[in-house]
């Protein structure tokens, strides 16, 4: 299956260190050779990079690794194709607009054939994956329930959790979703997270020979949380999410937690 990587931070932060290890899983230390992508929210704007080729060999991936794009929210994905051809249209993350914001989505897992029966309303897929179809259904359901941004975000988060539970009922559904302010992470089988804050220490990647002392690159007020399918470092304590758990992140902190 695919793998996911996300970040939420309270200050503009680059993800070069984590991405350096993650990209090796795309055809190097892992079998995920069928494309990769990454999306950044920056100062009210959005940009993404997608490539249907293995990240371990991708010049674009090396650019991202070496170019410190600073962002509050990041979503990345490396693909091992199950449904849909290996091509750009089927490469995550996917994006749709709602409430004048770009919503970004990446999925790890595989759904049963019943995904084709999920009714679509406002949004239609461009590619042929179960992942994008599920995204279009999910966004359509949210938009029908909340035509305008809700005054009470907890109601949105509860509804999102119910929708994720419904998709989980169709198979494996691990999710990263972002609206530019919040990062949503939903676990069906595998997701782990770590929050780094003062006092910062050293970290060592599991998939590449790279170490960093975060104390040299941060301030005492920085809070940075990283979420991944599997822990990216071998000398830190990652927390594994529970099946059926939805976490809502903002500025590196958990704002909401919903469980089955």
Asked if 2 is an active-site residue, the reply is: yes
What single-letter DSSP state applies at residue 9?
A: E
Is residue 106 within 8 A of residue 75, CB to CB? The reply is yes
Question: Encoding tokens for residue 76?
Answer: 């990345």
CA distance 194 to 177: 18
CB-based contacts of 166, cutoff 8 Å, min separation 6:
none
* C-alpha distance from residue 198 to each of 8, 18, 215, 221, 237 (Å): 16, 18, 8, 7, 15
> Residue 46 pairs with which residues in a beta bridge?
41
Q: Which of 2, 104, 136, 187 is catalytic?
A: 2
C-alpha distances in angstroms, 147 versus 67, 83, 99, 143?
38, 31, 8, 5
- Catalytic amino acids? 2
């Amino acid at each position: 299956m695919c793998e996911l990587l996300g970040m939420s931070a309270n200050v503009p932060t680059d993800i070069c260190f984590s991405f350096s290890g993650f990209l090796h899983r795309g055809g190097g230390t892992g079998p995920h050779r069928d494309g990769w992508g990454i999306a950044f929210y920056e100062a009210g704007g959005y940009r993404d990079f997608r490539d249907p080729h293995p990240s371990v060999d991708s010049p674009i991936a090396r650019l991202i690794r070496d170019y410190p794009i600073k962002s509050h929210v990041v979503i990345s994905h490396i693909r091992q194709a199950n449904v849909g051809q290996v091509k750009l249209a089927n490469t995550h993350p996917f994006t749709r607009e709602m409430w004048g914001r770009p919503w970004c989505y990446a999925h790890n897992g595989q759904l049963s054939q019943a995904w084709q029966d999920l009714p679509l309303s406002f949004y239609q897929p461009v590619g042929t994956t179960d992942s994008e179809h599920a995204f279009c259904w999910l966004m359509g359901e949210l938009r029908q329930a909340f035509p305008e941004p809700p005054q009470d975000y907890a109601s949105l988060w509860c509804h999102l959790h119910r929708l994720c539970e419904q998709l989980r009922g169709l198979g494996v559904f691990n999710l990263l979703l972002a609206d530019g302010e919040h990062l949503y992470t939903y676990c069906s089988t595998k997701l782990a997270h770590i929050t780094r804050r003062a006092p910062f220490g050293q970290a060592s990647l599991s998939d590449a020979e790279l170490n960093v002392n975060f104390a040299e690159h941060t301030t005492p007020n920085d809070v940075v949380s990283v979420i991944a399918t599997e822990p990216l470092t071998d000398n830190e304590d990652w927390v594994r999410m529970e099946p059926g758990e939805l976490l809502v992140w903002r500025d590196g902190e958990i704002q909401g937690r919903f469980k089955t």
